[in-house]
Amino acid sequence: MDEVKKPHLIFSERELFYAVDAISVKEMFYLPELALVADAPRYLAGTLNLRGTLIKVIDMDMFFGHSPRRYTASTCVVVLEQGNRHAAIIADDVVDVGGIGEPQMAPSLQASAGKPAGRPLVLGEADAGDRVAMVLSSEALFALAEDAEASPPGPEHEGGYFIDGCPAEERELFRQRKADLSAPLEVTAADAALWPVALFTVHGEYYGAELDTVLEITEYEDIVPVPCTPRHVLGDINLRGTILTVIDISGILNIQSPSTAGLKKALVAEHGGERCGIAAEDVLDVLYLKKSEFTPFPAGSQVNYEKCMKGTVRYGQRAIVILDIPKILSLENLAVNEEVG
């Protein structure tokens, strides 16, 4: 029986990789100016006002006792939400969204894992693509943020700033970000309009494709493998006399694929004259989402594979990765010019 893999957001801080349940991720953005809190635990980088909600920002690096470091304009913040509970984490980079298996607790993690409110913070280590990540407990992160309540918030340190020696031009950037994030969201006509997305599964993961890029959904039995192609190219099928290349999106996103045997459907995607089939186990539904429900990846990030993912939305207790179909179809290694026999 294949191992059940749950979607997690993978992020890095100081060359260490962490994973957190993607369902808990509300949004991500570049670091704004933070308000310092007097007598706060050393792991609390500060607080931010996210559209009227005060959120405590946790620095995992400091929690594990490492020396302080200087944040930069490219530092990211990952915001977690569960009902009325909130927490945020500092990240150097948001690396990936993908499924990971059951974490294993290494002996080296036992002493440093910590147990906020009696809950283990680090659930263990797990393979996340081509890296090993420490899997964090969302529940413990919320408790860690709430534990900071024991030190009542005080005024900002007089004459201090949350980044020592921060140049004036960077301060202005951080302050602008702070102002943008604290302002209430305006519901525009575009946001009010529903956004149709086709929901499908691949190897147990949930994905979405904007409906205006999907021509049709087809089932296939016979597929012709094409030699000397990347692993994500499954082969060619004959779609009513037209050769269609079928791809496994997991390979493009660098997610390990246990088997392709269950992929017997394809979403026929087209954009700008380019067309391919995206293999799927099942096509579940067409969702009509609001743009405000969408969590984009930080703009301008150079994360590998992120160019093929727009962001995530919640679907019940799951997170759906919304694919960027135009960018996927623009990849140079999708074209296969072979005849189906």
- CA 250, 253, 256: angle at the middle one, nearest 5? 50
Q: What is the mean pLDDT of residues 12-30?
A: 88
pLDDT recorded at residue 84: 92
How much is the average pLDDT of 53-67? 92
Closest to 315 (Cα-Cα) out of 195, 199, 158: 199
Determine contact, residues 336/236, Cβ cutoff 8 Å: yes
Q: How confident is the model at residue 299 (pLDDT cuts 50, 70, 90)?
A: low
Instruction: Let me know: does 331 contact 325? Beta carbons within 8 Å.
Output: no
Rounded average pLDDT over 212-218: 89
* Nearest partner of 48 among 30, 32, 29, 72, judged by Cα: 32
Contact criterion met (CB below 8 Å) for 62 and 46: no
pLDDT at position 230 is: 84
More confident residue, 88 or 161: 88
Closest CA to 182 of 55, 39, 96: 55
What is the CATH topology of the domain spanning 191-334? OB fold (Dihydrolipoamide Acetyltransferase, E2P) (2.40.50)
The three-state secondary structure class of 328 is helix
* C-alpha 213: how far from chain center: 22
User: Which of 3.40.50.300, 3.30.1600.10, 2.40.50.180, 3.40.50.1860 would CATH assign to domain 6-182?
Assistant: 2.40.50.180
Of the candidates 287, 264, 275, 158, the one whose C-alpha atom is nearest the C-alpha of residue 214 is: 275
Do β-strands 44-50 and 25-30 pair in parallel, antiparallel, or remain unpaired?
Answer: unpaired
Residue 63: name the closest of 8, 127, 18 by CA: 18
Distance from C-alpha of 308 to C-alpha of 180, rounded to nearest angstrom: 27
**Residue limits of CATH 2.40.50.180 in the chain:** 6-182, 191-334
Most confident of 110-124, 305-319, 327-341: 305-319
pTM of the model: 0.60
Residue 110 pLDDT > 70: no
Whether the CB-CB separation of 113 and 220 falls below 8 Å is answered with no
| Helices (H), ranges, 164-230 | 168-182, 189-192
**Average pLDDT of every residue of the chain:** 81
Q: Residue 25: pLDDT band by 50, 70, 90 thresholds?
A: confident
pLDDT at 186 over 70: no
Quick one: what percent of the chain has pLDDT higher than 70? 81
Give SS3 for 308. helix
The C-alpha atoms of residue 199 and residue 321 are separated, in whole angstroms, by: 10
- Is residue 95 within 8 A of residue 47, CB to CB? The reply is no
User: Does pLDDT of 189 surpass 90?
Assistant: no
- Region 139-157: mean pLDDT is 69
